[in-house]
Structure 1
């Protein structure tokens, strides 16, 4: 694929397709609230609805969060040149983020909440369990995309610091003398 935009679009569509198909399978095989442990004491497939943002923050604000996501999507689209969209790493980062945002937006508009189904946890010695908040493919894509944008930013920062300053004035004789 030669076009950077087509590559970005392909990545976004792959994320959306993967996200929506995995959510569809979860909704087909698990009732809302149902859980199935796959790795004892470590991993469950769950079917949880999230009307909030990450870790269920701002719960029951589905339309507000959908609006924020749409605004973020538009801003990200129009500022994509600042995120190295001409380089492969930028295309992957933006494609993952676009796909993830759109995948979760589809849920918000179609069913009124985001479907989360990946849940890692462990049992406490004192009883009960502690776990990482449930998430989905779209959430993962967004996080990886943001991580790649951080890498891009660090690379740009390092490149700007390593460029020597060029002086228009010739060096002084004292700067040329190598002996004390």
Structure 2
């Protein structure tokens, strides 16, 4: 099942990158890679995107577990040939699991990509956003195809 492989690769890369940041940087440390544009900044995020719903660790864990359960249930029902949808689901699940691992271990998510005009984020966040984007695009394409056949 390729979705499991994609999700596992996302989790592995996400956890490795967080371990690397955690073991090579001090909390709050910021390393400019492109001055005033892109930094590696080690922060702990107690919430979701943009720091929303801070310290709601149990809520986020439950939501992630529900997401994984929904994928386990619905994934086999996706008709073959929907590669964009399947890839999006794999990215989203991998990202959700990557961040849940942090939440279970510490109650926080390790973030480090800092573009200075956007909240600091991590690889799991990128996978979630990219996966959701692919899922939306897949749905829009399906609706477009249905509209053409009417």
Distance 1:27 1:161 in 2: 50
Greater relative contact order: 1 or 2 (C-alpha under 8 angstroms, separation 6 or more)? 2
**Alignment match, 1:15:** 10
Distance 1:84 1:51 in 2: 38
**Count of matched residue positions in the alignment of Structure 1 and Structure 2:** 150
2:115 is paired with a residue whose SS is: strand
Structure 1 residues 57-96: aligned runs within 5 Å = 57-80=52-75, 86-96=81-91
TM-aligned CA distance change 1:87 to 1:132, over 3 Å:
same
**Alignment match, 1:53:** 48
Unpaired segments ≥5 residues, structure 1: 1-5, 122-130, 165-180
Distance 2:3 2:79 in 1: 12
Deviation of residue 90 (structure 1)? 2.2
TM-score using structure 2 length: 0.92
Distance 2:25 2:79 in 1: 41
Unpaired segments ≥5 residues, structure 2: none
TM-score using structure 1 length: 0.78
Distance 1:53 1:97 in 2: 14
Q: Deviations over 1:128-173 (max 9, x none)?
A: xxx2001000000010100000111011101111114xxxxxxxxx
**Alignment match, 1:118:** 113
Deviation of residue 81 (structure 1)? 5.0
- Runs of 4+ in structure 1 over 6 Å off: none
Larger helix share, 1 or 2: 2
Deviation of residue 78 (structure 1)? 1.8
Q: Deviations over 1:7-65 (max 9, x none)?
A: 11111111011100000000011112221111101011011111111111001111222
1:115 is paired with a residue whose SS is: strand
RMSD (Å), alpha carbons: 1.6
Structure 2 residue 94 is the aligned partner of structure 1 residue 99: yes
